[in-house]
Amino acid sequence: MKRFLLNWFILCLILMVSISAIAFDFSTVEESITEFTLDNGLKFIVLERHEAPVASFVTWANIGSADDPKGYTGLAHMFEHMAFKGTTTLGTKDIDEELELIAIEDSIFMELRAERNKGIEADSSRIAELEEAYERAREASYQLVVPNAFGNAVEREGGENLNAFTSFDQTAYFFSLPSNKVELWMALESERFLNPVLREMYKERDVVAEERRMRIESQPFGRLLEEFIGLAFKAHPYGVTGIGHMSDIQYYSRKEAEAYFEKYYSPANLTVAVVGDVNPKRVKKLAKEYWGRIPYRPAPERIATVEPEQLGERRVILEDPSQPIYLVGWHVPEITHPDRPALDALIDYLGQGRTSLLYKNLVKEKKIAVQIGAFAGYPGDKYPTLMSIYAIPSAGHSNQECETEIFAEVKKLKEELISTEEMEKIKARAKANFINGLVSNIGMGMQLCAYQQYWGDWRELFDELDRINAVTPEDIQRVAKKYLTKKNRTVAMMETIES
Amino acid sequence: MIKYKLGIYCLAILLLIASSAFSQNVEELEYPKLNKLEIPDVEKVSLSNGLRIYILEDHSLPLFNARLRINCGSYLEPADKSGLADICGVVMRTGGTSKYTGDEIDEILEGVGGSVETSIGRTSGSASVNVLSEYSELGIEVLAEILRRPVFDEDKIELAQVEQRSAISRRNDDPFGIARREYRKIIYGEESVYARHAEYATINAISRDDLVDFHGQYLYPENIQIAVWGDFEKKDIINLIKKYFGDWKRGDTRVPPLPPVEYDFVNRIHYIEKEDVNQSNILMGHIGGLRSDDDYADRIVMNSVLGGSFGSRLFNNVRSKEGLAYAAYGVYTANVEYPGIFYNYVATKSETTGKAINEVIEEIERMQTDPPTEEEMEVAKGGYLNSFVFNFDSKAEVIQRLMTYDFYGLPHDLLQREKERVERVSPQDVVDAAKANLHPEQMHILIVGKGDNFDISPAELNYGPVDTIDISIPSGEATAAIDISPEKVIKGKALLAEAVEAVGGEDALNKVESIRMKGTFKLITPQGEIPVPYERLYELPDRYSLKFNMMGQNVYDIFNRDKGWNTGPTGQVVEKTEEDIKQAREEIDRELLYILKQANNPDYTPVYDGERVIEGAKVEYVAIADKDGERICRLGFGSKTHLPVSNSYWGETPMGEGNVTDTYESYDEINGVKIAVAGATMLDGNKIAELQVSEVEINPAIPENAFSKPE
C-alpha cells in the first residue's frame, strides 16, 4: 500500500491511475452462472455461491403496471397481492366447494357492479339487496379459506424476506430459504403460477385501497409524484401510478384479474433467478419437474403506444399544507438506448453524492436545499422514460430559488466540457457501485433478471462498466444539449398553503 | 331469490386442475441435509489505548468495510440543546479535520467511490467505512482523521442547523412520522431522553464549543469498538489500525449509564388532528420489556402469533379478513438496557378508525385467552428455528452482532441459548407471557387522523380519557424562555452597557427625543424585488408615523400612544384595532434606539444568551426580558465593535408571521449617536427585505398633525 500523500488532489490523481491499473476479475462471478430454458419458454439463471447454506429465489415477470389495461389501472399490482392467496392445493379446506362458492360470489358481484354502474338509473333498493347477498356469499366462501397459507408455508420452513413488488416494467416475487429447501420453493412457487386461486379478492381490494391511501393520498411526496408523471406522460401508460386510480381499484373483478394472469403470466414471459448454495444440475432437474408443468402460452406483446414528442414545458403546482418540494423531469430514452450511459454519467456528475454540482451549489454553498438528487429510471426503463431532479428546499427557502440554481447547473453542462479528472471519478464510482451491487444474493438475483428482461441477456450486466467507461466528456455535453431542453421538461411543485 | 350461474371462470379452473395430474403436498417434502454452516471466526484484538478491534477476512469481493460502535448518545446532551449529539455526529464528518477540509474529504472519498459516515443516535454512535479494498488504507486514514481531529467548521455547523430546522419545519407532513414521534413521548415521557427531540430553540442554542466539548468528552479509544471485514490480510489491517489509531490517548470521562424509565399503566386515548389525510395512523400499546427478561423466548413466539409475521392474527384478521388496512402489525419489543415498547400499528381509512381499533384490542385480548393453535405454533417456532441460519449468512451481520454483544457483556452464544429456549416454548407459555406482559385494558391509543370522518369518535370508543395533542411547532429563539440567572444578567448588563457606549454613550442617547429617517426598503419576493421608498418619524417613547409608497400607492401607519391609523386593504385609512395597537406597542418595545435607552430601566432585564461566529466574526447575544421574564427580543453585538448587529423576535412581516431577525450592517454618526443606516430583515432565516437609509435627522421639527389621522 502506498504511503498516504498529503495533498488530496495528488492523491486522487494517483488513485485514478491505479483504478485503471488494477481491475477486479468479474469473470469469476460470471463463470459461476448457468442458464437454461424450459420447453414452455421459462428461463432460469442460476448463480452458485457457497459461502453460506442459504439461497434466494426471484421470479421476475416481464409485466408491470404500464401493461394495465385502461380502466383497470393497478391490476398488475392487484394481481401481485392475489398471488399470495394460495392455490388449488394450498389455502383451502375444500377446493371444489370453495370454487363453487367463489363462482357464486363472482356472479353476484358482477350483477352488483353492473347495477351500480347504471349511474342515475341505478336502483338503490336493488343495490342494497345485492350488497346483502354479496356479503353473504363472500362470508360463505371465506369459511373454506385457510388464511395466508402460502405465507405460512414459506415462513414455517424458515423463509426470509418473503415479498414482492410491482413496478411500471415488472412484477417480482422473492424470498430466501435454507439452501436444502430448494424443492419447497419449486413446489410452492411453480404452483402459484400454475394454479393460483384468487380467493378473498374483494377484501384484498380494500387492502390495496388502504395501501393507496398510505403511499399516495396521505403522503405529500406521493401526491406530487402522481401529478408529476401524469403531466409528463399524456399517451404512454408510464403516466399512471402503479397502484392505480382509486375508482379502478374499487371496480375490477376477479374475472378480470384472472384473465390478466392468463395473458401476462405465460412462462415465456417469466425469468427465474436462483442465487446461493445450490447445485445447478439439481435446480434444472427440479425445475423441469415442477415448472415444466406450466403449459406454453405465447408471451404478450410490448406496448405499442409511443409518448409523442413534448412541444412545450409543462408545469403543475399543488397547493398543499405540507412544506415545499420541487421536481423536474426531462424525457429520455429507454435503458438500452446508446445515449443512456452518457446520461447515467451526467446524472452522477450532476446530482449524486456530496461532490455533485447540485449538492455543492444548493446544499453546501447556498444552503437553499437540504436534499437534492438526480435520477433516471422512473417511471420505468423498458420504454422511453424520464431523467429527473428533486429538491427539498431548506426552511424559509422556495422552490423557485432551487429551480433557478438547478437550471443554472444544467446550463453549465451544456456549455462547458467536464474535465477528464471528473470523468475518471464518475467511472471510479460506477465501478465501486457495481461491486457493492454484487454483495446480496437477492439483489444479485434481481439484477440478473432485470438485465435479462431489458437486454434479452443477463450477461449485459457485466458489460455495464464498459459502457460507462466508453463515455467521453463530449458525449455528456451532447446528451445534455439534446435532452435537457426547456420544451422537453415537466415541473411539479408542492407549494405550502395554510390549512 | 336470485338464481346463480356457474361462471366460465370456474370451468376454466376445473379444466386447469384436470390438466395437472401432478399435485404435491408441500408438507410431505423431504429435504436433504443442510450443508454445514460455517460460523465465521471473528478475531478480536485490543490496542494498548483500549480500542477494541474485531476482524473477519472475506475474500469473495474486493471490498473493505468497517463499522464502529461509539459509546455515547443524545441521552448525554443537555435538554435545552437537544440535537447536539446528532449535529456532532454529522459535523464530525462534514466539518473537516485538522488535515483536510470536509469538502476535501468528500472529494477524496467520492473520487474512489467510497464512503465514510458518522452518526450519533439516542443511545449509541456509529461510524462506517466502505471502499474498494485497494483503498483500505485511505478509508482507515480518513476515518481516524474524522474521529480524532474534527475541527467543526462553522459553515458546516450552520449547514447542519439549517438541515435540522428544515426537518423540524417538515416534521408534521408525514402522518406516520407524527405518530412515531409522539408515541415515544407518550410512552417514555415528553422530557425523556428516549423520546425528546430537537426544537428550533434547542438547535439555535448549539454552538461550536458545545460540539467540541461533546466530542472531547466521549470520543476516545476505550469508548470505541471497530469491526472490519473484507478482502484483506488480518495482520495488514491490524497494522494499519495501529498506525492511525495507536497513538490516540485514553480519555478521562466516564460515560454515564442510561437513565431508568418510569412508567404507570393507564388507559388513554390521544388524538392528533391532521386535516389533509383520509387515513388514520393508529398506534396502540404500552411499555415493553428487557431482553434479559425470563420470558423473552416466550415473547418471540407471542410476537409472531400476534402481529409479527405474514400469517399473524393481526395480519389475518385486520388485513386479510376485514380488509381494514394494508399495514397491520404489532410487536412487544425489548432492549438490552431500557424497556422497549409494546406497540400495534394499523393504518385504516378515516371511516373505519374505530372499527380497526376495536379489532386490534380484541386480538390483543385474545392472546391472553386463546392459546396459539398447532398451526400458529408451527409457523412461529418453525419460522424462528428454520430461519436461524440467516443469522449467520452475512459477514457484516455476524461481526456487528458480536461487537454489540461484547459491548453489553452478553455471552457470544446468546442467540443459540435463546434458540434452545424457543424450542421449548409451549402454547401455554405464550398465553402466560401474554397475561404477564400485555395490558389490553390499559393502553395508550394514539390516533393521527381527520376526526370529522371517523366512524366512532375517540370519546365514544369508551376506552379511556381523551387527550388532544397539539403538534404545532414551537417557534425558535424569538419566543424561547430565558434563563435569568444572576451571572447571565451581570454579563448581559455589561454587554448592553458596552453597546450603549459604542453608539455614543448614555448622555448622547438621552438627548435623542425624536428621529426622522428616509430611505428605501427592498422587498424580496419570489416574483422579484420590489423597492419601497419610505419615511418614518419616531418620537420616543410611543409615537410614530410611517409613510411609504408601494407601487404608486401611499400607505400610512400611524401610532399615537393609545390610538392609531393605518391604510387598510382597500386603500382607505382605518383606525387601528386593539390587536393592532398591541402589535404597535410590541414593535416599539423592541425598537433598537428605545431598548438602548432602557439600559438602566429595572423593568427591562438584559440576559446573556450565548455567542456564535458568523462569517468569521464573533457575535455575543443578549436577550431582553420584560417585567414578567418574558422575552421581548434578542440582540446580537459584534464582539469587536460592540455595536448591535442583529435583533431577533417573533413578529409579523409582509411575508407572514415567524422568527424575524433585523440585521444592522452599517452605522452613521449623527449628533454624536451612531444610527444604523443599512441592513436586512430575515423571516425564518430567509432574507425578505433590505433596508437602505438615505437621510437621518435627530430631534427634527415635528408638525402639529404628525401623529393624527392622515388626510
Q: Using one digit for the tens of pLDDT, what is the confidence trace for B558-612?
A: 999 889 998 877 778 888 888 888 888 888 888 898 999 888 888 889 998 877 7
Whether A160 and B277 lie within 8 Å, measured CB to CB: no
As a whole-number percent, the residues of chain B with pLDDT over 90 amount to 71
Spell out a b/e string for B689-706, using b for 16 or more CB atoms within 10 Å of the CB, else e: bbbebeebebeeeeeeeb
Domain A33-92+145-291: which topology?
Cytochrome Bc1 Complex; Chain A, domain 1 (3.30.830)
**Residue with the three cell numbers 438547535:** B203
Q: Is the pLDDT of residue B532 over 70?
A: yes
Closest alpha carbon to B125 in B147, B156, B103: B147
Q: Is the pLDDT of residue B21 over 50?
A: no
Q: Is the pLDDT of residue B24 over 90?
A: no
Whether B320 and A207 lie within 8 Å, measured CB to CB: yes
Q: Is the pLDDT of residue B428 over 90?
A: yes
Low-confidence ranges of chain A (pLDDT < 70): 1-24, 498-499
pLDDT at B479: 56
Q: CA-CA distances (angstroms) from residue B112 to A9, A267, A345?
A: 12, 42, 15
Give the span between the Cα atoms of A437 and B697, in whole angstroms.
71
Task: Report the relative pairing of strands B52-57 and B224-230 from DSSP bridges.
Answer: parallel
Within 8 A of B529 by CB-CB distance, chain A residues are none
Sequence letter at residue B565: W
Asked if A194 reaches chain B (Cβ–Cβ under 8 Å), the answer is yes
pLDDT at B477: 55
Burial class from Cβ neighbours inside 10 Å (0-12, 13-18, 19+) for residue B578 reads exposed
Sequence letter at residue A197: V
Q: Please say whether the beta carbons of A434 and A358 come within 8 A.
A: no
* A 57-96 residues inside an 8 A Cβ radius of B: 88-90, 95
* A 458-497 residues inside an 8 A Cβ radius of B: none
Nearest by CB: B326 against A51, A211, A322: A211
Nearest by CB: A254 against B9, B37, B141: B9
Pick the CATH number of B268-373+425-468 from 3.40.1160.10, 3.30.830.10, 3.40.50.10490, 2.40.128.20: 3.30.830.10
Closest alpha carbon to A267 in A38, A36, A82, A56: A38
Nearest by CB: A160 against B13, B323, B387: B387
Residue B688 banded pLDDT, cuts 50, 70, 90: confident
- Give the DSSP per-residue string, B667-694: EEEETTEEEEEEEEEEETTEEEEEEEEE
Q: Does domain B43-245 have CATH number 3.30.830.10?
A: yes
Q: Using one digit for the tens of pLDDT, what is the confidence trace for B86-143?
A: 999 999 999 999 999 999 999 999 999 999 999 999 999 999 999 999 999 999 999 9
Within 8 A of A106 by CB-CB distance, chain B residues are 7, 9
pLDDT at B629: 80
Q: Where are the domains of chain A?
A: 33-92+145-291, 314-496
Asked if A113 reaches chain B (Cβ–Cβ under 8 Å), the answer is no
- Give the DSSP per-residue string, B518-575: EEEEEEEETTEEEEEEEEEEEETTTEEEEEEEETTEEEEEEEETTEEEEE-TTS-EEE
Q: Using one digit for the tens of pLDDT, what is the confidence trace for A363-372?
A: 999 999 999 9
Question: Do B486-698 and B43-245 fall under one CATH topology?
Answer: no
Q: Please say whether the beta carbons of B609 and B634 come within 8 A.
A: yes
Give the span between the Cα atoms of B707 and B709, in whole angstroms.
7
Q: Is the pLDDT of residue B68 over 80?
A: yes
Whether B385 and A206 lie within 8 Å, measured CB to CB: no
Q: Is the pLDDT of residue B2 over 70?
A: no
What residue in B sits closest to A432 (Cα-Cα)?
B113
The C-alpha of A385 sits at a distance from chain B's nearest C-alpha, in angstroms, of 27
What residue in A sits closest to B232 (Cα-Cα)?
A1
Q: Is the pLDDT of residue B499 over 50?
A: yes
Domain A314-496: which topology?
Cytochrome Bc1 Complex; Chain A, domain 1 (3.30.830)
Within 8 A of B138 by CB-CB distance, chain A residues are 4, 11, 15
Whether B131 and A432 lie within 8 Å, measured CB to CB: yes
What residue in A sits closest to B64 (Cα-Cα)?
A436
Whether A439 and B12 lie within 8 Å, measured CB to CB: no
As a whole-number percent, the residues of chain B with pLDDT over 70 amount to 95
Q: Is the pLDDT of residue B482 over 90?
A: no
Q: Which helix (H) or strand (E) is A28 found in, with range?
A: helix A27-31
Tell me what ipTM this predicted complex has.
Answer: 0.90
pLDDT at B589: 86
pLDDT at B478: 55
Residue B627 banded pLDDT, cuts 50, 70, 90: confident
Whether B174 and A219 lie within 8 Å, measured CB to CB: yes
* A 441-460 residues inside an 8 A Cβ radius of B: none
pLDDT at B9: 37
Cβ neighbours for B226, distance < 8 A, ≥ 6 positions apart? B51, B52, B53, B54, B66, B67, B68, B241, B245
Mean pLDDT of chain B: 90
Within 8 A of B322 by CB-CB distance, chain A residues are 203
Q: Which runs of E-coded beta strand occur in B325-412?
A: 328-335, 339-349
Give the span between the Cα atoms of B579 and B585, in whole angstroms.
10
Q: Is the pLDDT of residue B213 over 90?
A: yes
Nearest by CB: B347 against A156, A210, A392: A210
Q: What is the rounded average pLDDT of the residues B432-452?
A: 98
Within 8 A of B321 by CB-CB distance, chain A residues are 142, 147, 200, 203
Q: What is the rounded average pLDDT of the residues B642-658?
A: 83
Q: Is the pLDDT of residue B616 over 90?
A: no
Whether B684 and A396 lie within 8 Å, measured CB to CB: yes
Within 8 A of B310 by CB-CB distance, chain A residues are 148, 151-152, 154-155, 162
Pick the CATH number of B486-698 from 3.40.50.720, 2.50.20.10, 1.10.260.40, 2.40.50.140: 2.50.20.10
Q: Please say whether the beta carbons of B633 and B649 come within 8 A.
A: yes
Q: Where are the domains of chain B?
A: 43-245, 268-373+425-468, 486-698
Q: Using one digit for the tens of pLDDT, what is the confidence trace for B158-193?
A: 999 999 999 999 999 999 999 999 999 999 999 999
Number of Cβ pairs closer than 8 Å across A and B? 300
Whether B393 and A439 lie within 8 Å, measured CB to CB: no
Question: What is the value of pTM for the model shown?
Answer: 0.81
Helices then strands, counting H and E runs in chain B, come out as 21, 26
Within 8 A of A100 by CB-CB distance, chain B residues are 6, 10
pLDDT at A8: 35
pLDDT at B25: 75
Q: What angle do CA B610, B615, B616 make, to 5 degrees?
A: 80
Burial class from Cβ neighbours inside 10 Å (0-12, 13-18, 19+) for residue B297 reads buried
pLDDT at A27: 78
Q: Is the pLDDT of residue B618 over 70?
A: yes
Give the span between the Cα atoms of B50 and B221, in whole angstroms.
6
Q: Please say whether the beta carbons of B573 and B710 come within 8 A.
A: yes
